[in-house]
Structures are given as C-alpha cells and as structure tokens.
Amino acid sequence: MGMTMTEKIMARHAGLESVKPGDLIEAEIDLMMGNDITAPISIKRLKDIGLTKLPYPEKFFLVLSHYAPSKDIASAAQIMISRSFAKEQQLQHYYAEGSGIEHVILPEEGWVLPGELIIGADSHSCTYGATGCYSTGIGSTDLAAAMATGRLWMQVPETYKFELTGARPQYIMGKDLILHIIGMLGGDGVLNQTMEYTGDALRTLPMEERLTMANMAIEAGAQNGIFPYDDVTEAYLNGRAKKEYTPVHSDPDAKYAKHFKIDISKIEPLVALPWSPENVRTVSEMSGETVDRVFIGSCTNARLSDLRTVASIIKGHKVACDTLIVPGSKQVYRDAMNEGLFEIFLEAGATISAPTCGACFGGFMGVLGPDEKCLSTSNRNFVGRMGHPTSKSFLANPAVAAATALTGVITHPKDVAGREVVTA
C-alpha cells in the first residue's frame, strides 16, 4: 500500500520504511518554533529539568510576535524572559520586537522546506505545510521536550484529500477557498487529520494563497494542511531556500480517509460571521452589514501580495471607517513602503502599524470595544477574540476588506470597482 505525503515525511523522520494512520512514532524534528507567549513556558520547563544548554540551537526559532513591541509592563516582563534566553543560548534564529509574525517570516526567509517535519508552539504553525512539509502546532511542554531532545512522540494522522478544479474567478482568494471548505465540513470536520490539496486549480494558486489556506487548516480541526511540491513551490523557493531539501509526493495508491472534489469556479467571495469561521455566507448575502473597523493583517493575510490587493482597490479613495493595516514582517513593511503602498494607505486615511500579531487576538493595536464590529482578514472570530466579549468580527479576504473599508459596510469588491477617484 502506498503512502501519502504526510505518511512519507513521518516515516522518514522516524527512520522507518513505512507508517500508517494511528501509528505512534518518535520523530526527529527539523525546525521548532516558539513565540513570546509560548516560549517562556518552555524555557521554565527546561530550567525545571536542569537543562542549561540547548543541544540543537540551530533548530530553534524564537519570534517575538504577539505582544511585541511590549504593550504594557506585564508583556515587557514576558518578553524579557525570551530575550534573556536568546542571549544566554546565543540563538542565531532570534527575531526581536518589530520583526513580525513567525508564520510570515519563516516561509519568507526560506526556512520551512519540502519534506521536512516542523513543529511550533502556536496553533497556526500548520501554515508551513504550503511548502510541502508536515508542520503542526504543539503545546509549550511538548516544545520543551523537543528543544531538549530534538525529537518528539507523534501519532500518524489520517489524510483528507481535497481536489481543486476549475478556473479561479476574479476576487476569489485562498481565504475564500479555505472558508468554503470550513463552512462545508465544520470547525471539527477534519479533526486531528491532515488536509492534502491536489488538482489542476493549484496551478493558478500562488504560494501566498497556499500559505493562507494551510494557515487555517486548524480552523477545520486539522493538524496540518499540505500542498504538493510543484512549479509554484519550486519558483517560490528558488533563491530563498536556506538549505537543500528533498520533496515527497503521495503515491498513486495512497489511502485517504475521504476525498472531496471542489470546483472553485463556482465559489463566490465569502465572509465568516461571528462567532466561528464555519459560519460562512457569501459577501452578497451580507452586503450592507455595517462595520466600525476594518483590520487587514495577521498571519493569514499580511503578506505583500495581500497589501498590493488592498492598495489596488483603495488607491485614490478615502476609507469610510477606521482601517488598520499591519504588514506581517519587517520585509513586507519595507517592500510595501518602497513600492509606495504606504502612501496610498495614508492618503486613504488608513492607519499603518509595525509588524505584530496584536490586533488579531485582541492583544493590542486595534482591540475592539463593547459592541464594535470589525471586518478582519484574520483567521478566527470567536467570542472576545479581538477584544470585548460583545464585539463582533467578520472574516474575509483582503479584497473584500478593502472594499468594505471604502464603504463602511460589507461590500463586494466589484461594487467599488471603477469608482471615481477622489481629488483634493
């Protein structure tokens, strides 16, 4: 019996010829990541067992992304733990305040590669599967175990196959595709399993869109979202990959728990209503719903291509509600600024922030107050996710977010296309 991509990666890293769903393995980890919220817990666990020097420091990435730059005294104290540890261990992969979001930085810099096994103490570590690796989120104690040994006990998951066909309509982005799937299967529809993507439609899906889809695998309950190594992957990693890599491909006779065929030509821009990413409606159905704020950012949609999409829609216009735009990394920030995107955003009346996760989880930089409504490009809209428990957040792609920013109500991008440019 053949194996899926995930099974091949896990077998390789366990030193086994083959594995099957349900097997327990001890796997060698290629890359492990912690952030300013999760790493301090891991650091304490290491100190509890008396470990003073990481045996594999080159595999550990520490990114200050959530409360950085510090929003208050408590977050400053938390960050000090990570900063001191980085200095003590002389970490070569330490990203200080202002560097950005780990799930944007690591793919951008070419650290997450095909065929690898990656873990991160953050639930959206599944993002990296877009490059053809197996990557999943873990807890801080498991991260400490991996930091101490370079290995981790894991269970081989079943794989759901999603075959995407058809031409991608205008304004349809990876965000819409994953929202469609989550809406179809539910928030636990792929619980503890892997989502593997195939099909002719992948040819028109750039890496940035794949990263968005892999990022939200956890919103369907999955451990990992994984894409095949193809021309898109190769082009993205060319000149970017930090080391040699060996891709894997699913065997023709690999066994899948379920197989779904999705014609993406029939999908419309979507919006997820409070308080779950599975509560999906078309943008047309929600047209006219008022919002107080638009947030464009997060590890889901804060890459340069996302900001270019936003700029193409709002250029020459004025926003009608508070609009916060947060680049996902220092590199995205620099590139957007050099391309003149910041000038477009500022002229439109938007606010630009330093790279951070803050607004996405109601940490800082855009926290919602009582009863406020926000159209967000983030990945979660749970109760109180972005601030006050009575606030409401709606999830959509960057094009819908840009159109909504111009009107103050949930708006289809086609409805603002061709608008007369605002003149001074």
d(CA 109, CA 372): 36
d(CA 361, CA 391): 12
CB 146 within 8 A of CB 32: yes
Q: Cα dist. 28→51, 121, 157 in Å?
A: 19, 16, 17
**Through-space distance between the first and last CA atoms of the chain, rounded to whole angstroms:** 68
Strand partners, 280: 272
CB 13 within 8 A of CB 27: yes
CB count within 10 Å of CB 96 equals 15
Structure tokens at 364: 């800082």
Nearest to 367 by CA among 403, 349, 346, 391: 391
Q: Which residue has the tokens 């420091």?
A: 57
CB 258 within 8 A of CB 161: yes
Is residue 360 part of an annotated ligand binding site? yes
> Which segments of 200-247 does DSSP mark as H helices, in order?
207-215, 231-237
Is residue 299 part of an annotated ligand binding site? yes
d(CA 23, CA 15): 13
Is residue 357 part of an annotated ligand binding site? yes
The DSSP code sequence of 131-170 is: GT-EEEE--HHHHHHHHHHSEEEEEPPPEEEEEEESPPPT
CB count within 10 Å of CB 153 equals 11
Which residues have C-beta within 8 Å of that of residue 399, sequence separation ≥ 6? 171, 173, 269, 309, 310, 313, 413
* CA-based torsion, 233, 235, 236, 239: positive or negative: positive
CB 164 within 8 A of CB 59: no
Instruction: Report the binding-site residues for [4Fe-4S] cluster.
Output: 299, 357, 360
Instruction: Report the binding-site residues.
Output: 299, 357, 360
